[in-house]
Amino acid sequence: MKRLVLKVDSKGRVQIPKEVRKKLGIGDEVSATIEDGSVTIEPVGRILDRLANDITFNFKSVEESLPKLRRAAEQELLRQIS
């Protein structure tokens, strides 16, 4: 595991270096989990991929269900932060 020291600006923002974002597939949104004094940040797409693998739908394929999965995940994230 590689450890990075990142600066926090006056508004509490942390900038993840471009090469790290690219390697991890981080786009415009991430999901953050706070547990035991640590923050874990994951690309939203990775979470949706995991959901797609864990949930069986009555659709022709998982690809067809991804938009509905994405909406459901986004709604759940908004519910959790509200």
- pLDDT by residue (tens digit) across 1-42? 788 999 999 999 999 999 999 998 888 888 888 999 999 888
Strands (E), the chain: 30-35, 38-43
Task: Specify whether the CB–CB gap between 69 and 55 falls below 8 A.
Answer: yes
Axis crossing angle, helix 44-54 with helix 62-81, rounded to the nearest 10: 120
Residue 44 lies in a domain: yes
C-alpha to C-alpha distance for 16 and 22, rounded to whole angstroms: 10
Residue 8 lies in a domain: no
The alpha carbon of 11 is separated from its chain's Cα centroid by a whole number of angstroms, namely 21
Q: Give the pLDDT band of residue 72 (cuts 50, 70, 90).
A: confident
pLDDT higher at 73 or 9: 9
Enter the tokens of residue 55: 């949930």
Residue 11 lies in a domain: no
pLDDT at site 57:
56
Residue 47 lies in a domain: yes
Q: Which domain holds residue 39?
A: 18-81
Domain count, the chain: 1
Residue 7 lies in a domain: no
Residue 9 lies in a domain: no
Residue 66 lies in a domain: yes
Write the Ramachandran bin of 36: left for phi over 0, alpha for psi from -120 to 50, otherwise beta: left
pLDDT at site 59:
54
